[in-house]
Structure 1
Amino acid sequence: MRRPASGPARGHAGRHAPSDCPLTGLSRAAQAQDRLAAEIALADLLARLGARQIVLKGGLAPHLSHRIDDWIEAHLDGAIRLADLARLVDLSPFHLHRMFRLSRGMTLQDWITTRRIDRAKLLLRGRSPLIEVAVACGFASQSHLTRVFKARTMLTPAAYRAALKQGGARPLAI
């Protein structure tokens, strides 16, 4: 005898929290007009379409990880697409996404955002206007930089710069 469905919708097959749903990630990416996030959400969605769970072993070879890191550093000021990185290492975007996450413990999008924030921290040591820092780090606008920077460091870029001037070394919140 079947039990009637009650409670939340069964769209996640009981395995994933709603915030873990690739469709939610795709929706957020569309709202933010973030192509990389959309490509990663699609790769996650495709991974979940399989009939059985596949256990991954290994990850990216170190020379491929270094090649990706070097390319990301050289292109932080522009749009970085999953397909471009996949071509760089001769893997499918889907396979690159899965292997990168297995190797680094985070998605490519999170890795790139971390690299952009690290570059912004370096540039904030100088006197460049915040809009120039934002553009040099690949953010769409100064407000985009501020929103992401604050989410990652708990400080706005201006507050981070002010803390550097007062303390000389590193702000405590980071």
Structure 2
Amino acid sequence: MKAIYILFILGIASACSTTKELTPSVIRQIDARHALIENKNYEFKADRAYPMPSDPLQQLASRRLLGMGSTSGMIQLQGTPNFLRVIHDSVVMQLPFYGVRQLSGGFSTPTGFEASSTVTDYKVLQNKKKQTEIVTFSVKEGTEVYDVTMTVFPSLKTDIVVNSSQRSTIRYEGALTSYTQIEVAN
């Protein structure tokens, strides 16, 4: 009886541990994504922002001041100019911020995440099981430090988490594309 029980358990365990075969199109997507990230010449544009829950955001949402389709936990960014560009060893970032600022930035401090600086601690990790690449780096702008973590999927759908030294954490959801700089002739 024990032998039958053990064979039954082994049969169930082996049935649950099937491996997922990657199709050629998914392999091409993964290779193209990896090349894009390794070239360090890409741009992220956000469709949605997911701020940390807070009383001020809840008050804005209850007064319906966040816009159509937005809640205190998810804000639609269509029509809001935003980007994060990685160009070799530098970052240009202009992302809207919704949340709580812990330290005052002064009178001329931008309300969103704005930076044009050199990247430090740029790392790329591949998660073959989840078929994602995780890019981490830090950017310093003035007295504020941004720690950025990007999770890039094969379809180039991307999630970005920005941890700031002066503000609450926020997550953005959008897409990654190749960035080509357009030079304007004078």
> Common fold, TM-score beyond 0.5?
no
Report the structure number with the largest CA radius of gyration: 2
Q: TM-score, normalised by structure 2?
A: 0.22
Q: TM-score, normalised by structure 1?
A: 0.23
Greater fraction of residues in strand: 2
Which has the higher relative contact order, 1 or 2, with Cα contacts under 8 A spaced 6 or more apart? 2
